[in-house]
Amino acid sequence: MTMLSHHENTPPSEETLMTPGKHTLHEILSQPQVWLSALQEAEKATPAWRAALGDEDTPLIFIGCGSTYYLSLAAAALFRRLTSRLTFAVPGGEFLFQQADWLGDLTERNAKPVLIAISRSGSTSETIHAVREYRRRGGRVLAVTNYPESELAGEAEEALLLPQGQEESVAQTRSFSSMFVGLNALAARLGGHTTLWEAMQRLPEAADRLLNRFGARTRQMGEDLNLERFYFLGSGLRYGLASEVSLKMKEMSLSHSEPFPFLEFRHGPMSMVNEQTLLIGLLSERNQAQEQAVLDEMQARGAQILSLGEQQAVVTFDSEIPEEGRGALYLPLLQWMACHRSLAKGLDPDRPHNLTAVVRLNLS
Ligand code: F1P
């Protein structure tokens, strides 16, 4: 298996060279209107997905790579919670080459799980090969992608297509959140949570308000180059989100960054806490007290703290959207912080070091 020609980034235009981060900043700020279309697309897709997902005893397996594996983790938790189905999240490459270690013989049984493949590009080799192999074995495949003309969209029985989430930048921002909002709305609809679905219609305005209220403060934190270590804490469905924003910090600013479920941080990783450490807590509602206690303990050990949550946090959403429908609100300000740290370090978040927009491999 050799790494074939990556999707070569086009040489930067004069203009792009002159304005590093131009695309990423725009893509982060444009998320509210992208989420509006994601909500609409999810509403339209609900009947076909309801038919394709079969009965509620059928397990669901979400796969993706990098950001879209983290999205799979978050989506698996959302569908578990909102549709009471048995769900799994597996990295595309693992599904392809280590399936038995992750799923035993689950995909060999008669009532095969439905595979939901998530990919911004719809071209990532591991994801495409995993889908093809599953279909060859008679499995049903659904897809979520920002590229309707992609190979993945063509392979899937049903696809949630979100072209408005397309972006120039390599590091995913609005592409990720468009697919997250779309899957969150689908899970609400499929689980019959009408009130939740209605409340989710307020997500775009809530995001706009957050960027206006807290953009300057999170930009300042991003520009504080005394900070060197970043730990993103998130539990339940917020763990996938914490993993994604941790990857953003890594990809955009080349910083040491790691995600943990909240209480896990005490079991070893907290040894790394010092005055150059920033702990970012994606607070839940149901367990906020325990989570805040972790942040308080680390602050006492010298760490800086940034907490985000509906209320009683440094960044408060005040969205009045139930917890199962407001996960997307953790994303924009943390993407914004990572982007400004990148710029403060003289990097270009539009073109992260070593990265390409799509990984293509020779897997034959
Ligand atoms: C997956 C991915 C991204 C990563 C980088 C390379 O792409 O691994 O998560 O940030 O851009 O590709 P996709 O399958 O979601 O298009």
CATH of residue 145's domain is 3.40.50.10490
Q: Whose CA is nearest to atom 14 of ligand 1?
A: 119
Give pLDDT, residue 253: 96
Domain for residue 198, yes or no? Answer: yes
Domain for residue 30, yes or no? Answer: yes
Closest ligand 1 atom to Cα of 124: 14
If you average pLDDT over every residue of the chain, what do you get? 94
Domain for residue 60, yes or no? Answer: yes
- For residue 67, the CA-to-ligand 1 centroid distance in Å is 6
Q: What secondary structure does DSSP assign to 245-297, as a single string?
A: HHHHHHHHH--EEEEE-GGGGGTTGGGG--TTEEEEEE--STTHHHHHHHHHH
Parallel, antiparallel, or unpaired: how do β-strands 2-3 and 361-362 relate? Answer: antiparallel
Provide the 10 A C-beta neighbour count for residue 225: 12
Q: Whose CA is nearest to atom 5 of ligand 1?
A: 357
Letter string b/e over residues 80-99, b meaning 16 or more CB atoms within 10 A of that residue's CB: bbbbebebbbbbbbbbbeeb
Give pLDDT, residue 13: 61
Local confidence band at 3 (pLDDT 50, 70, 90 cut-offs): very low
Closest ligand 1 atom to Cα of 68: 15
Q: Burial level of 181, CB count in 10 A (0-12/13-18/19+)?
A: buried
Closest ligand 1 atom to Cα of 171: 10
Local confidence band at 125 (pLDDT 50, 70, 90 cut-offs): very high
Domain for residue 352, yes or no? Answer: no
- For residue 90, the CA-to-ligand 1 centroid distance in Å is 15
The token pair at 78 is: 């959302």
- For residue 64, the CA-to-ligand 1 centroid distance in Å is 8
Domain for residue 147, yes or no? Answer: yes
Q: What is the pLDDT of residues 220-234, one digit of tens each?
A: 999 999 999 999 999
Domain for residue 357, yes or no? Answer: no
Is the pLDDT at 304 greater than 50? The verdict is: yes
- The Cα 223–Cα 278 span in angstroms is 12
Q: Whose CA is nearest to atom 12 of ligand 1?
A: 358
Give pLDDT, residue 4: 42
Local confidence band at 40 (pLDDT 50, 70, 90 cut-offs): very high
Is the pLDDT at 282 greater than 60? The verdict is: yes
Local confidence band at 14 (pLDDT 50, 70, 90 cut-offs): low
Q: What amino acid is encoded at 291 in this protein? A: E
Give pLDDT, residue 357: 84
Domain for residue 353, yes or no? Answer: no
Q: What is the pLDDT of residues 240-267, one digit of tens each?
A: 999 999 999 999 999 999 999 999 999 9
DSSP 301: T
Is the pLDDT at 295 greater than 80? The verdict is: yes
Containing 60, the helix (H) or strand (E) segment is strand 60-64
The binding-site residues of ligand 1, defined as CB within 6 angstroms of any ligand atom, are 65-68, 119-121, 124, 127, 170-172, 355, 357-359
- For residue 68, the CA-to-ligand 1 centroid distance in Å is 7
Provide the CA 289 distance to its chain's centre, in angstroms.
Answer: 25
Q: Note the helical H segments in the chain.
A: 14-18, 22-29, 31-52, 67-83, 92-97, 99-103, 125-136, 151-155, 174-190, 194-200, 203-223, 238-253, 288-300, 331-344
Q: What is the pTM of this model?
A: 0.94
Where residue 236 falls (left for φ over 0; alpha for ψ -120 to 50; beta otherwise) is left
Q: Whose CA is nearest to atom 10 of ligand 1?
A: 171
- For residue 291, the CA-to-ligand 1 centroid distance in Å is 30
201-218: average pLDDT: 98
Provide the CA 128 distance to its chain's centre, in angstroms.
Answer: 19
Give pLDDT, residue 311: 97
Domain for residue 350, yes or no? Answer: no
**Tally of CA atoms within 13 A in the half-sphere of 125 that contains its CB:** 14
The residue range of the domain holding 148 is 7-344
- The Cα 255–Cα 276 span in angstroms is 12
Local confidence band at 110 (pLDDT 50, 70, 90 cut-offs): confident
The neighbouring-strand residues paired with 30 are none
Domain count of the fold of the chain? 1
Q: What is the pLDDT of residues 67-77, one digit of tens each?
A: 999 999 999 99
- For residue 65, the CA-to-ligand 1 centroid distance in Å is 6
90-111: average pLDDT: 94
Q: What amino acid is encoded at 111 in this protein? A: A
Name the residue with tokens 């921002």: 173
- For residue 198, the CA-to-ligand 1 centroid distance in Å is 31
Q: What is the pLDDT of residues 323-336, one digit of tens each?
A: 999 999 999 999 99
